[in-house]
Each structure stands twice: as C-alpha cells, then as structure tokens.
Chains A and B, each alone.
Chain A
Amino acid sequence: MSKSISLKHKVIGRRSTLLAILLFLFFIALSKQFDPYNQAQLANIATLLIAVLSITLLTGASGQISLGQGAIMAVGGYASALLVTRLGYSMWLSFILAIFVSALFGLFLGLAAARLSGPYLAGTTLVMALAIPSIAVRFEPFFGGDVGINVDYGNPPRWLTSFVGKISIEEWSLYVVLPFTALALFAVLNLSNTRAGRTWRAVRDNEVSAALAGINIGRTKVIVFVCASGLAGLAGALYGFRGLVGPSVYPTDLSLTLLTAAVIGGLRSIGGAIFGTFTVVFLPDLIERITSTFEVPGAIANYLPGLAIGTLLLLTVILNPSGAAGLNERIHHRIKKTISKSGGH
C-alpha cells in the first residue's frame, strides 16, 4: 500500500516537473518571437500567473473566496522592497523572504478567515484590499506613502549577456520572473495532487462529510490560506520590481483582475489559470490594435477593454461557470462520445 502511494507521488512529481519545465521553455520560445513590449507583457503574465494560481488554490481547491489577493501581493511587494532598500538584501533573497512574510500574513488572515465563509469572507478580504494602501500612506516615513518605493530588476548582468548576447531590459525581466513561475506551477501541481490537495477538495465539496472523515476543517482552511498567500506575496514582489512598490501599483481592481482571470479560465483548473491570465493581459492590447485600425474615438476606445473583459466575465458566469477549462473539457468529452458512438456502430 505505502509502496504504491510513494510510486504515485513519484509519477506526479515527474509530471509536475515536466510541465513546469515545458511552461518555462514555452515562455522562452514565445519571447523570442516578441518585441520588447510583448516580452514585458509576457513577464507580466508570468508574474500575475503566480497570483492567479494562488486563487486557483484558494478558491478552486478549497472553496474560499478572496477579493484581496492584490493586497497580499502588496505585502510581498513591500516586504521585498524594504528588504532590498533598507537592509541591502539581494533582490533574489528578498523574493524568497517575501514568500515567508506574506505566508505569515496569510496565517493571521487565515485564522480569521477560517471562521468565515461566502460573502463574509469576500467582504473581509475586500476590506483588506482597500485598507492596505491606506496603511502605506498612514505610515509614510516607513512605507514611502503614495510615492512608494522605487525598485527594479536592474540591468541584465554581464555573465548573462556574455552567454546569450545582448538582451533587452524587458527580456531580462522575463528571465527573472520565469524560474519563480515554473517553481510555483510545480508546487501547485504537486500540492493539488497530494493528500493535502485531496483534503482541501474534500473540505470544498462538503465540509460536514469532510469533518466526519476526520479532517480538521479550520486547520485545513488556514493551511490553504498560508500557501495561497505565500504565492500571492511572491507575485507581488515580482510585480513591484517592474519599477515601483506603491499603493497605486496594487489597487483594489488588481484583486478583481486576478479573480476575473481565474474565473474566465476556470477556477478549478491550472490550465485555465494560464489561459485566463493570458486573456486579461493581452485582450486590452488586442482591442487597442483593432480600435486603432478602425480609428475608434478615444472616448469610446478607452473604455472598450474594461467593457470586453467585464462582458466576458459575465458571459462566463452565466453561460459557462467552469470557464475556458470546463468548456474545453466538455468539448473533449463530446468528441470522445461521438467517436465511441461512431466506433460502436
């Protein structure tokens, strides 16, 4: 019995490793086709994907809703920026430590969140999203107020440029972010397919039956919050190093954008998280491209991306609640059914 479980773990581990490496190579290959702006957008996707994965864990796997992931990103961002600017830590170390700081924050939040559910939890996390910028402004000498803390990835290091040739600042930002994205994907894939992941899903699907099965509901919820916060904090640190850690970098609508990406892609699917993140980052560019071709007046064009993403979100919730991933699965299923039917005749 124990042998078969460890064997299964190995298989899952191998699969996660393979998928994480594939994602890494895929982003690199894609970036080679892109101009620097789209490379920066790709780095943006790689960063936000980590935060969306935290929602996939939190909401998709354990059924807890958070409208404040952007605020936890801010915690990670401020932690890393302060470590670098105040204590002179290296950027890389600060990213790792940001995971722990935000996970600790998630622990305290999780202790409260475990007692709440549904709209009450959503409300609490939304308040957090609104409150974090105020805290940064209130304690201005420490957090830098509205102006925030200037941090960036720096220029591409010489060892890299001598190895791969001259690269743009944008491409360098992608190289910084991507290893973390691959690691995050690896971690989430692994987590969701171990005992922990199964426990979370049991809690999500039916708390009473999970409790009857001997699962400590409160503890499980707190653990998910801690894991998701660690991921969001890492994303926040990477996001801040694009140029600034400050209140207007982590506004409330960042939290909503992340949730939108997760819902459009499919809350319970990791593939969906990737698709959703690509959509929310690239759709505005796509719309801008179309509107500039047709010379749509600015007064209309400026509102179109928000309108399009909002409509897409509404349509997803109404017509296809399981998101792009669910749709993909249904199509898959139907094709299979058709093939087996025609094969049977």
Chain B
Amino acid sequence: MNLRKPLILTVVASALVGSLAISSVSTAVAGAPGVSASEIVLGMQLPETGPASPGYNKVDDAARAYFDYVNSKGGVYGRNIKLVVKDDTYKAGLTISTASKLINQDKIFAFFGSIGTQTHVSVIKDINRRKIPDIFVNSGYSSFYTDPKKYPTTFAGLGTYTVEAKILGKYLLEKYPDKTIGVLYQSDDFGRNALAGLATAGLKFEARKTSASFIAGTQGSLGLASQIGQLKANGVDIVIIAAVSSATAVAYATAAQLGYKPTKWAVISVGADATTFQTILGSKGVPAATSAAMLAGTISASHAPAPGELDDEYIAAFKKINDDFNKGADTRWDNNVLQGMNAAYLATSALMGVGKKLTRKKLISYLEKNGSKLSSAAFAPLGYSKNSHEAFTGFWLGEYDASTLLVPIDGKRVVYTTDSAGGAVTVSNYKRPAISADALPKVA
C-alpha cells in the first residue's frame, strides 16, 4: 500500500470525476413539483436491459406513444405529458438510485407504471413518505395495495396475482377434477401471491413433488431442467406457471427437450405474452410456427381484450396510435404494448379528472374517490377506494389458438370477479363503456 503519494491529489481527481457528472440544478417550478404551465413530468422505472427485460421493455415506449398522442391533441389542459424512464435492470440496488434521480433531478410529479415487484419494494416506502403519487404500478403484488394506510400514494396498474390465481385455480379444479395439477413458480412475492390465490381456490401442492420453484432471474443462466424434470417425474398433468415471460419460454423449451407433454399449461397472464414467448424461443433457434404450436392450447387470463382482437374498439384505437406514435426499438403490437397504452390512457383520465389545478394530493384523493369510475380497455373496473388501491378486479379465461391469439374458453367471454382475500369468485356484470371517437378519455 502506498502512502508516499499524496492522497489528497487522488481525492481532488475523484472530485473532478464527480463534479463532471453533476447535472445542472433544475429551476424550481411554482406549484406542484413536476407540473408547469406547459408540462406534467411522470417517471417510470423498469428493466430496459438484463434477463427480466424482454417484453417489459416495450411498455414504456407504448405508454409514451399514447402520451405523445394526447400531446398532439393539445395535452391535458394545455400541458404536455412527459415520461422520463430509468433502467433499473431489475436490481433493487439500482432502483433506489434511479428513483432518487427521478425525484431530485428530473423533478417528476408522479411515478407512473413502474415495473417489478422486488425492485419496487425497495423504494415504495420512500416514495410514500415523500407523498409522491405512485400510480398504475405494473406489479400484481397485493401487499402494495390492500392497506392504503401503509402505502397511501401507491395505486395498482394490474389486477393482483392473488385475484387472477383464485379465478384460474377455481376453473382448473372444476374442469379437471381427476388430473394431477402442479405449479412452477418464481420464489418471490409474485410467485407466492399466486400460490396464495391458488390455495384459496382449494389448490394445494406438495413441495418437491407437484410444486417446483426457482429464483427469479436465474431461468436464463441456470435453466429450469431440474424443476421441469421433477414435475415430469411426479406425473403432473396440468402445469400452472407463475413466472415472467422469459421463464415461461424456458419452461416450455425445457419440457420439449425432456419429452414432457403435460395435458395443459396454465400461465398467469404477466408471464404469458405470446410475442415475448416467441421472440425468446426464436433467439434459441425455434421457428415461429413451432413456438406457436407449443403455446397453442395454453390457458391464461386477461382483464382486457387479447391484443389480437382487432375488431375490439379499444384494441383498434390503441393499435392505430401505436402505429403512428411509437418510436421504440420494438413496436410490434402485443400484450405489453396494450398494457402500456391502457395504463397511459387511465393516467390521462386521472390527470384530466383532477382538473387544471393539479397537485399530488388532489390526484391521490381523485383516484380514491373516482378511480373505480374510470373506464379503459379492461372488462373489469379499477378497485380503487379509500380501503383498497387494487386495480382490475376481474379476469376472463382463454386458450391460445394456433395463431397465438388468446380466445375465450368455449368461445364465450365470461369475466369473473373476486377479491385478494377469501371472497368467493363470481361472474362480473360490469359493462365496459365505449371509447370515444378520438380515443381520448372523456372525464367529467
């Protein structure tokens, strides 16, 4: 170790590196942070790169496309919506830094549509203590939303994994009473939330026999051979997957390699995007026709129409906006794009609903009071109230056809609804309002 050299010189040199990186301090804006006469700044964190990024890295481009469309029509009360996006690579250590950057340098008004359960856990407490709205979070982890006293500014952008798993579990139990049902889940809150929902529906699994787990993010490097092999060895007929899309693709590919053909695959919706599935398998040399055939017959759920339902009025409108405004690297129309655009549509509705005098407090209060009345492409309303910040409270079940389109089981769309607790699963009677001709929300 060298003490002869002046340590102070090194310190000064380090300072130079540091000071070069300092961004100019933003000028203070009157009123709410992130809101000026001409702009509303929203911030989003998601894995743009890294093993969890495939598919999800399209959500921000889709949302920005919708906001750009709104801006082209005059914005929200003359204010353009600007979306600032930070790549946290799905690592919580980085999420903490990027959140600080969004708050302190980009001076955002609100967090919008952040993706990732375990990453959002690292910042949710800080965001809430700063009273910054944290809207339409792209995580179905119920603990974020079921106790608004704990996280008063956080609102869901997805139905909870528990609700979806309850609906899926009930269906599978009734439809396949004699089959052995198993589960492959990522051992994080997403996976455990889904397990809890399945358990509420009456589906229990035996560890290391009918249930197999893996650490989220390791599916790419370590593969899922032991997990799939275990399900095969134990004669599991129906495999439920509660994992991200990249893991679903790896699971199917591994099963094909092992010659394992379960009677049915059932995949929780966030892990069942057909485009992502095909893209990942395509990168492993699997032709599109083969991957489509692999996916065909898979059961999944959705709160919104399938992206392939081109005659649906919301799908048609959003797809056109995607074609005209999306400047992302991959603009192919799929479920990720649809979700990003639908969340942006809802965010625009909420910002319009608050009115000209936009503040953080008013936005939160508006969502609690009026959120359940906001319409979107979803066939279920938002479950927002003073006691819950859960998003879509209903799902319909479908099966992928040969062209990777999710079509309602038995040809008829039935939307089921339930809660994240022990409530019963019932058929929803919600009627989705029509979209306006210009695809802009009409909020009183």
Contacts and interface: CB of A to CB of B under 8 A. Distances in A.
Determine if chain A interacts with chain B. yes
Contact of B5 (A38, A244, A246, A332): A332
Interface in A281-312: 282-283, 285-286, 289, 297-299, 302-303
A37 B21 contact: no
Contacts of A272: 10
Interface stretch (A97-105, A133-141, A213-221, A225-233): A133-141
B20 interface: yes
Interface string B118-160: 1101110110011000000000000000000000000000000
B20 A282 contact: yes
In this complex, the member of A15, A33, A285 whose beta carbon has the largest number of chain B beta carbons within 10 angstroms is A285
A197 B18 CA distance: 31
Contacts of A34: 22
Interface in A99-146: 133-134, 137, 140, 145-146
Interface stretch (A2-10, A86-94, A147-155, A174-182): A147-155
Contact of A40 (B9, B10, B97): B97
Contacts of B126: 152, 169, 243
Contacts of B3: 15, 189, 192-193, 270
Nearest to A278: B14
B187 A38 contact: no
A170 B100 contact: yes
A274 B10 contact: yes
Interface string A252-271: 01100000000000001111
Contacts of B100: 36-37, 40, 170
Contact of A244 (B9, B26, B92): B92
Contacts of B423: none
A303 B92 CA distance: 18
A28 interface: no
B97 A289 contact: no
B25 A244 contact: no
B97 A44 contact: yes
A159 interface: no
B interface secondary structure, majority: helix
Given A37-B104, A270-B7, A147 B187 contact: no
Contacts of B10: 269, 271-272, 274-275, 324-325, 328
A30 interface: yes
Interface string A1-25: 0000000000000010001001100
B257 interface: no
Contact of A152 (B22, B90, B125, B216): B125
A280 to B, nearest CB: 10
A150 B2 contact: no
Nearest to B90: A248
Contacts of B8: 19, 22
A19 B97 contact: no
Interface residues of A, number: 76
B5 A146 contact: no
B48 to A, nearest CB: 5
Nearest to A189: B3
B101 A37 contact: yes
Contact of B48 (A30, A269, A302): A302
A26 B100 CA distance: 23
A128 to B, nearest CB: 16
Nearest to A12: B3
A45 to B, nearest CB: 8
B49 interface: yes
| Residue in A192, A248, A249, A275 whose Cβ sees the most chain B Cβ within 10 Å | A248
A38 B93 contact: no
Contacts of A40: 97, 100, 104
A26 B14 CA distance: 11
A95 interface: no
B19 A33 contact: yes
Given A38-B21, A146-B215, A269-B5, A244 B96 contact: yes
A278 B17 contact: yes
Contacts of A205: none
Given A146-B118, A244-B122, A286 B2 contact: no
A42 B97 CA distance: 11
Contacts of B215: 133-134, 137, 146, 247
B319 to A, nearest CB: 22
A249 B7 contact: no
Interface string A237-249: 0010011101111
A246 B118 contact: yes
B318 to A, nearest CB: 21
A48 to B, nearest CB: 10
A54 interface: no
A38 B25 CA distance: 10
A286 B93 contact: no
A36 B90 contact: no
B30 interface: no
Contact of A197 (B1, B23, B90, B122): B1
B39 interface: no
A321 interface: no
Nearest to B141: A147
Contacts of A15: 3
A201 B3 CA distance: 14
B113 to A, nearest CB: 16
Given A239-B93, A282-B17, A244 B87 contact: no
Contacts of B329: 297-299
Given A298-B48, A329-B2, A248 B97 contact: no
B118 A150 contact: no
Interface string A24-68: 001000100111111011101100000000001000110000000
A243 B123 contact: yes
B5 to A, nearest CB: 6
Nearest to B122: A244
B97 A145 contact: no
B15 interface: yes
Contacts of B49: 302-303
Contacts of B21: 38, 41, 282-283, 285-286, 289
Nearest to B125: A150
Contacts of B129: 155
A156 interface: no
Nearest to A298: B48
Given A35-B23, A36-B104, A244-B92, 4 more contacts: A19-B7, A22-B8, A35-B26, A239-B93
15 contacts: A19-B8, A36-B103, A41-B97, A147-B188, A243-B96, A243-B125, A244-B96, A248-B118, A249-B91, A269-B10, A277-B14, A282-B18, A297-B329, A302-B48, A302-B87
Interface of A: 15, 19, 22-23, 26, 30, 33-38, 40-42, 44-45, 56, 60-61, 133-134, 137, 140, 145-148, 150, 152, 155, 168-170, 189, 192-193, 197, 201, 239, 242-244, 246-251, 253-254, 268-272, 274-275, 277-279, 282-283, 285-286, 289, 297-299, 302-303, 324-325, 328-329, 332
Closest 6 CB pairs of A and B: A271-B10, A146-B188, A244-B122, A278-B14, A37-B104, A192-B1
